[in-house]
Amino acid sequence: MARGGIEPDVYLNLEEDLGIAKSGPFTSLEFTEQQVQAVADALVAAIGAGT
């Protein structure tokens, strides 16, 4: 991203910031509806905080 001139102001880590633990290798698309909603809410909050 930095090579393209994009430098994020906020970093969100699924495990550290949102408490969503890794399920293991090759399970990157296995999330519950609650986990997806937590990520969506965090993204909306981060975007809103930047405006």
What pLDDT sits at residue 14? 86
pLDDT higher than 80, residue 44: yes
Cα–Cα distance between 34 and 31 in angstroms, integer?
8
What's the pTM value of the predicted model, to 2 decimals?
0.68
How many Cα atoms sit within 13 Å of 47 on the Cβ side?
6
pLDDT higher than 60, residue 9: yes
What pLDDT sits at residue 50? 63
Cα–Cα distance between 28 and 10 in angstroms, integer?
22
Tell me the pLDDT tens digit for each residue of 17-42.
999 887 777 766 778 899 999 999 99
Angle formed at CA 26 by CA 8 and CA 19, multiple of 5 degrees: 50
